[in-house]
Structure 1
Amino acid sequence: MTADTDTRRAPRRQVAELVPVTDMLAEAVVGRLGNISETGMLMLASAPMHDDALYQLQFAIPGPNGQPLALDVGAHQLWSEQTHAPGQAWVGFRFITLSREHRELLRAWIAQETSAV
């Protein structure tokens, strides 16, 4: 089994709520979460993204007491596919940097959904 196969098998959380994703370098919202694992995410992009580029992204997830917690991730764009809506695309990212604390918070949030199913 390759590392790519391992990351694709990581538990994922489908994100039904609107979770904006901000490009920290551009200081602009570039899309919203579609689904997420502790190793990467699918984003519905509303701004142009560049293939094979590196991004510093931020998004918020609910914390242990329900308060929003901002997570910062370094991400590598792996692929993109245009949607039927003009100016939107599905974009897949692999996380290349994520602090231990943020990874644990993300893992717990993902586990909440997978245990509720």
Structure 2
Amino acid sequence: MNDDTRRAPRRQVAEQVPVTDTMAEAVIGRLGNVSETGMLMICSVPLTPDGNYQFRFAIQGPSGQPVQVDVGAHLLWIEQSNAPGQSWAGFRFLTLSREHRDQLRAWIAEESSAV
């Protein structure tokens, strides 16, 4: 993994942001933290090691309205959490449109400027 991807600014996500597997059309977890290059997800379903996924999640847009973000992601690692039936999973984004990347970057910067 490229060290630069781990250095990308991350937003810790305290609110409940569900993540949908768009192929299964089912919520499979929620965001733990996110950068423009990847995310940590708290999963509630089993995942395929080293698998590729298509996800959708909503972030707050510039006017406060929800903005849907679609990403293609590669599962880098997965670990069982202390809660039964849940796991932590780290993903690297493979695809993310320029528009969604810009919106995600602004949302992440918004948290940084609030600190």
TM-score normalised by structure 1 residue count? 0.96
Matched pairs, number? 115
What RMSD, in angstroms, separates the aligned Cα atoms of the two structures? 0.7
- Unmatched segments (≥5 aa) in structure 2: none
Partner residue in 2 for 1:46: 44
How far apart in 2 are the matches of 1:116 and 1:64?
15
Partner residue in 2 for 1:90: 88
What is the CA-CA distance between 1:31 and the residue it aligns to? 0.1
Partner residue in 2 for 1:63: 61
How far apart in 2 are the matches of 1:16 and 1:85?
17
Match of 1:4 among 2, 5, 15: 2
Partner residue in 2 for 1:111: 109
- Unmatched segments (≥5 aa) in structure 1: none
Q: What SS is found at the alignment partner of 1:104?
A: helix
Which aligned segments of 4 or more residues in structure 1 are displaced greater than 4 angstroms? none
Q: String of CA shifts for 1:64-115, please: whole Å, max 9, x gaps.
A: 1111111000000000010011110000000000000000000000000011
What is the CA-CA distance between 1:50 and the residue it aligns to? 1.0
How far apart in 1 are the matches of 2:69 and 2:12?
17
Q: What SS is found at the alignment partner of 1:52?
A: coil
Partner residue in 2 for 1:75: 73
TM-score normalised by structure 2 residue count? 0.98
